[in-house]
Each structure stands twice: as C-alpha cells, then as structure tokens.
Amino acid sequence: MDATLRQLAAYVAVARAASFTAAAAHLHVSQSTLSRAVADLERVLDARLLERDTRNVQLTAAGLETLRVAEQIVGAHESGMKELRRYLLGESGVVAVATLPSVAAVLLPRMISAFRRQRPRVAVRIMDGLERAVLGRVLSGDADFAITTVGASPDRLDHRPLIRDQFHAVLPEGHPLAERDEVTWEDLAAEPFLAVGPQSSVRRLTDAAFAQAGAAVTPAAEASNVATVGGLVAAGLGVSAMPALVLPLLGPGHVVHRRLTGPVVERRLDVVVRARRTLPLAAAAFLDVLEEFRTELPPGVSWMG
Amino acid sequence: MDATLRQLAAYVAVARAASFTAAAAHLHVSQSTLSRAVADLERVLDARLLERDTRNVQLTAAGLETLRVAEQIVGAHESGMKELRRYLLGESGVVAVATLPSVAAVLLPRMISAFRRQRPRVAVRIMDGLERAVLGRVLSGDADFAITTVGASPDRLDHRPLIRDQFHAVLPEGHPLAERDEVTWEDLAAEPFLAVGPQSSVRRLTDAAFAQAGAAVTPAAEASNVATVGGLVAAGLGVSAMPALVLPLLGPGHVVHRRLTGPVVERRLDVVVRARRTLPLAAAAFLDVLEEFRTELPPGVSWMG
DNA sequence: GCCAACCTATGCACATACCGCATGGATAAA
DNA sequence: TTTATCCATGCGGTATGTGCATAGGTTGGC
C-alpha cells in the first residue's frame, strides 16, 4: 500500500523538528497523533525511519531518504494547491478573449490595461477573427468570452449588448459627398461601392442597410481586409460604409468619413459567453472591469446596457 | 481546507476517462465512490470542474487547470513512492564505505565490481583514511560501514573479522637480507627502520611486533604516505615492514619483500558497523556480496570468519 | 413520440480511519 | 534516588470512505 499524504506530512514535521512533541505543538495536533502517523508510515514502508532514544529523535539512512522524498511530495501538494487556489480566485491564469479585428485593435488595448491594473498576474490572450470564427472559439471553449456582433443568435450561447457602433460613409478626399455633414445610404448607392468580404458581419449589415433604403447595390470590388478597402477608397475607386470602430483601421490613405443616415445603422457588439457555464473567475473579473470601464469612446460609438 | 490525495487521484481518473463509470471500472471502485470524491473536491475548491450532461463529462476551464495541478501532485506521489521503495529494497541509493587506503586501492575495486554486477543501480562511495578517521565516519553515519583495523574496540560500534593480512619485510633490492626466504623482526631491528607515521595502524602493529621480539627500535625516518616509505627503502636508506595488502602501494621503486616471522604478525581487518542500527538494505547487500566473495587473494592475505 | 439504455447523484448502512485524552514505560538530568 | 521529559499505546467517540441499491434525467433507436 502507499503512504498517505497525512503520514508523509506528519513525518516531515517530526523529522524536521527532531521531536514528536515539538512537531505536534507546531502542527496543533496531539503528540499521539504524530506518533501513530509515523509508526504507520514505518509499517507501510516496512523500514525504521527514526531512531528514538527517549531523549532524542534521530534519522536513519532510510529516514533521510524518506524525508527527501516526502518533502517533495508534500511540497508538490502544498504548492500545487496554492497555485490552484490563486487560479480559482482569478488571481492568475489566462483570460482568452475572442473578438473582431476592429475591437481587438481599437478597444481591447485600453480594456486590457485597465484589467491588468487590477489583476497584474492574469494574462490576456486575444483571438481575433470574423464573427463566425469568434463565436466558434467561444463554443469550443477556446475563448472564455467574445465581444462581437451576433447575427443569428446561436444555440448554447448567451449574449448581452455592450456597445453601439454607428456606420459612417467612407469617402475619398475631395469627393463631392464629402462636402456634406451627413450622407444617406441612397447617396452611397449612386456611387461605385467597395465592400468587405461576404464573410464579414459588416457586409451583412451594409447589405441589409441598402435593402432597407430601397437600393440594390452590387459592389464594384470586395476585399476581406478593411485596410485594403480603405486603400481602394483613397485611390478614388469608389466609396464604402464602415462602423465607427473600423475607421481607424482604414489605413494611411487619404479618406474622410461622414455620418451616415437614412437610416442610421448601428452595429451592436455583444458580450457572448457559453450558456449554462460559470465563467472562470479571472474572465468574470474582466467583464466586471468592462462594466466600470465607461470611459470616452470614439464619436459614433457608445456604451449600451 | 486542502484537497485530499484521494480526491485528486479520483478526479484525474475521471477527467482522463471523461466518464465516472469508466474511471470506476479502471480503478476497481464503485462509480458512487468517484462521484462523491469529485463532488467533494468541487466542494473543497468551491468550483465546478466537470460539466456533466448525463451522456458526456466535459472539463470546465477550472477543471482543466485542476487536472494539470492534480496530475502533478498525484504524479509526484506515485513516482516518489516508487523511488522510495526502490531505495528501501536496496535497489538504488549509495553505499558509503570507509576504509584504509590499502583496502581501498587493492581489494575494494574487485569487491565493488562484484557488487555492481548484482545491483547496478546502487552507487558506491569510498572514503579512505586512517583508522581513526575511518571509524569516525561510521560513528557519524557518513559511512554505512568500514573495513579497517580496530585498535581499542570503541563504544557504539560492532565489528567482526573479515581478512587476515600478514606483515612482510620490505627491503631494497640487493640487500643481504633479501637473499633469505624469511626474515625475522630481530633481523630488521638491526637495520635502519623506515616507519609510517604514528597515526597509522600499521605503525602501532610494527611497534608492538618489535616490542614482542624484544627489540627497541627507533625509526630512522617516518613518512605518512606508504609510497614515500617505499621510495626511501628503494633508495637504500633502510628497511621497513608492511602488511601484504600494502605492498602494491610501495611505488615503482626497486624494493623486494620477504615473509616476516619471529613472530608472524597479522593485521586483522574487520567489518565495522554502528551498534544497534539496521543497515540500509543496499549496504547489507554489499556485505552479503563480501561473504560470497571468497576469491583468491594476494599471498599473505586470507579470509576469516 | 415513446421506450429502452445508459450515466451520474444520492440515501443508507457498515467498516475503517483518525483523533484526543489519559496513562504507561523508559531515560537523562538534578 | 528522584524528577522531569519524551515517546508509545489502550480506549472511546467522531469523521471519513465504501458499496449497494435506486432515483433522476438525457440520448438514441424504433
């Protein structure tokens, strides 16, 4: 049979103190308990570990080796439990956030620095991707939660609104529409439209907005990367429409943006978690930080809830 | 409170098998036992580790971290106990032998190779020194046992004869006494005598032998190292007397040796262990090997007991 | 849509382990 | 010789651990 953790811990205490009585006082148990525990250990190992001559307790060679091993085992238990507790209290570990590239680039950095001021020992892993991939990360458990648009509300996921993000017209510098303060979807429909790829949630929203405005728009060009779309606009190949958070990602080209109405279209970014799962405490703490993180946002972006 | 080793082991089994029932079969315990153990662990840690939906058992994030830590702890326990058992069975560890330089150089190498054929994973540490130091090593517990002469039988040590080692006259080549087959102590007393240092047990025996032969001998020179004495003899400065086992250590000089009688003096080499101590099994195994190690010995050396 | 199969949780009873108290026995110091 | 100190051990009460039987709930086949 194997030695109990209790026997090993008792033995370590007695061997270190070289005294049953002293070790008992130190551990706040009775001396008889330790006497028995050590005797049990010796019986289990079938070896004499301590030489007791009423006045002194002295380790045998086997006792020395046993002490070494027992310290390892007991130490592994103690440090492991301590580590685990820290993790479970959300004081260490990794928070994995899945989110859209625009959120990852524009909002997350500030959120993370606020979070890490509060929990410096918790790392944050960012997984950016398009809505479908992002939701998949949450479903599979790779990510603790997501901040993303949610098209068709999928099964096994809970979500709640976090941020409102208004669409803006994206125009080349010097374009006639740029002279106005506001542009309508109908205005845009008259120009060559540069769209993001069909996988993007932005594309779904622009398609819906044109339909709502009663315009049938076939994109003049598509690119999966928004920076590419920005470049196309800057080069004068057409116009586009992007949520406010995406505007900083349009690249260094000379583009301008204007409020986009008729209708005002908003992208809603939700916090998405797995249904019927309790979040790891560190992840929950991140969301708590988000609750209080009501700092100023770029124009056209606002908090919800 | 801390998690029990039993709880952690149960959890590791269940988490690996992703099934209470399968893990129970594997560990040969009832399913209810594991169900309870895992529930206890979750209560102790105050965290949900497994998501059970009747068909599948799936790890939560906390469960994954707990599995990692629990595997470490349980693994440390298992491997530690295995290591300890090996040690206690004498299948690993170190046997520390304290002994005189002559034994260390001449006899021990063969003994060690015989021992290691039987227990290849046990290392042997040799501590050589003069009798006093050698016995001190055993008393302090630094050495498991000693092979040495024993002058005044000291307290707290047990000893039993192992080897008989006859004294020989050590002469320069071409010396008149070298023409005989045997030399007496009286013969030697007429020559300049080259002695080892007063700390050496050999010195004690040569002094006693001369006294027994009725000769008062004052050494012409002393050296603590027997090779030095050999060099002095080879240089023609005098003669000496050494036990047979020491003869190979006299160095490359041109010396010869002859049987020494009147009286025949023997050095007795004992095995010395601490009284009332059980030897570590590996050390006991070494002594067992010695028992059976009755191979040929140099002339003038023989087994006892 | 219903039934059978399967999996985990739990009530119950029993055995063992564990603990502290009190005390015995042995030794070193006074 | 006496005293103080320390470890071992008998004893009784409590906590813990285990298996059996079974409840409860979900999945998959018919």
CATH of A165-266, one of 1.10.1060.10, 3.40.190.10, 2.10.25.10, 3.40.50.300: 3.40.190.10
Phi-psi region of B177 (alpha: psi -120 to 50; beta: other; left: phi over 0): alpha
pLDDT in tens, B104-117: 999 999 999 999 99
CA-wise closest residue to B186 among B216, B218, B229, B219: B216
Delimiting residues of CATH 1.10.10.10 domain(s) in chain A: 5-88
Where are the alpha helices (H) located in chain B, listed in sequence order? 5-17, 20-27, 31-45, 61-88, 101-102, 108-118, 131-140, 185-189, 201-212, 226-234, 281-292
Measured between beta carbons, the chain B residues lying within 8 angstroms of A73 are 76-77, 80-81
CA distance B43 to A281: 16
How many CB atoms neighbour CB A172 within 10 A?
Answer: 20
Pair B3, B74: CB distance under 8 Å: no
Using CB atoms, pick whichever of B60, B76, B87 lies closest to residue A76: B76
Half-sphere exposure of A265 (CA within 13 A, CB side): 25
Task: Please give the pLDDT value at position B81.
Answer: 92
Nearest CA in chain A to B283: A61
Tokens of B23: 């893990």
DSSP per-residue string spanning A208-246: HHHHHTT-----SEEESSHHHHHHHHHTTS-BEEEEGGG
Task: Please give the pLDDT value at position B53.
Answer: 75
Provide CB contacts within 8 A for A228, sequence distance 6+.
none
- CA A248 to chain centroid: 23
* Of B148 and A17, more confident: B148
Question: Is the Cβ atom of A36 within 7 Å of strand C at any atom?
Answer: yes
Nucleotide nearest to A56 (CA to C1'): D6
Report pTM: 0.73
Give me the phi and psi of A241, to 5 degrees please. Answer: -140, 130
Helix (H, G, I), strand (E, B) or coil at B26: helix
Provide CB contacts within 8 A for A36, sequence distance 6+.
none
CATH architecture entry for A93-162+268-303: 3-Layer(aba) Sandwich (3.40)
Pair B220, B194: CB distance under 8 Å: yes
CA distance A125 to A122: 10
Tokens of B208: 């006693």
Task: Please give the pLDDT value at position B270.
Answer: 95
- Considering only A123-132, B54-63, B142-151, which range has the smallest mean pLDDT? B54-63
pLDDT in tens, B158-207: 899 999 999 999 999 999 999 999 999 999 999 999 999 999 999 999 99
Residues of A near B (Cβ–Cβ under 8 Å) read 2-5, 45-48, 51, 60-62, 65-66, 69-70, 72-73, 76-77, 80-81, 83-85, 87-88, 93, 141, 144, 277-278, 280, 283
CA distance B54 to A219: 50
| B254 has a pLDDT exceeding 90 | no
**CATH of span B5-86:** 1.10.10.10
| Protein residue closest to D4, using CA and C1' | A55
Pair A167, A242: CB distance under 8 Å: yes
Locus of tokens 């302090």: B140
Using CB atoms, pick whichever of B62, B76, B144 lies closest to residue A73: B76
Using CB atoms, pick whichever of B60, B278, B283 lies closest to residue A48: B278
B179 CB burial (10 A radius; 0-12, 13-18, 19+):
exposed
- The partner residues of B267 in beta bridges, in order of sequence, read B165
pLDDT in tens, B7-38: 999 999 999 888 888 899 888 998 889 999 99
Mean pLDDT of B249-263: 90
Measured between beta carbons, the chain B residues lying within 8 angstroms of A70 are 80
- The partner residues of B157 in beta bridges, in order of sequence, read B274
CA distance B119 to B116: 5
Question: E strands of chain A, at which residues?
Answer: 50-52, 57-59, 93-99, 122-128, 145-148, 157-172, 182-184, 194-196, 221-223, 240-243, 255-261, 266-274, 301-303
Length of chain B: 305
Q: Please, which pLDDT band fits residue B54 given cuts at 50, 70 and 90?
A: low
- 3-state percent helix, strand, coil for chain A, nearest multiple of 5: 45, 25, 30
| B305 has a pLDDT exceeding 80 | no
Tokens of A28: 């706040």
Helix B61-88 / helix B5-17 crossing angle, nearest 10 deg = 120
Q: Please, which pLDDT band fits residue B257 given cuts at 50, 70 and 90?
A: very high
One-letter amino acid at B29 equals V
One-letter amino acid at A205 equals L
The dihedral built from the CA positions of residue B104, B107, B110 and B111, taken in this order, carries a sign that is: negative
Task: Name the average pLDDT for chain B.
Answer: 91
Task: Please give the pLDDT value at position B170.
Answer: 96
CA distance A93 to A286: 12
Q: What percent of chain B has pLDDT over 70?
A: 99
CA-wise closest residue to B154 among B166, B168, B139, B141: B139
Task: Please give the pLDDT value at position A140.
Answer: 80
Nearest CA in chain A to B65: A84
Domain A5-88 classified CATH 1.10.10.10? yes
Q: Please, which pLDDT band fits residue B1 given cuts at 50, 70 and 90?
A: confident
Task: Please give the pLDDT value at position A133.
Answer: 93
| Protein residue closest to D17, using CA and C1' | B33
Q: What is the DSSP letter of A178?
A: G
User: Which residue of B41, B58, B81 is the best one to mutate when testing the A interface, meaning the one whose CB has the most A CBs within 10 A?
Assistant: B81
> For chain A, which residues score pLDDT lower than 70?
54
Delimiting residues of CATH 1.10.10.10 domain(s) in chain B: 5-86
Delimiting residues of CATH 3.40.190.10 domain(s) in chain A: 93-162+268-303, 165-266
Cα dist. A25→A9, A63, A212 in Å? 14, 22, 80
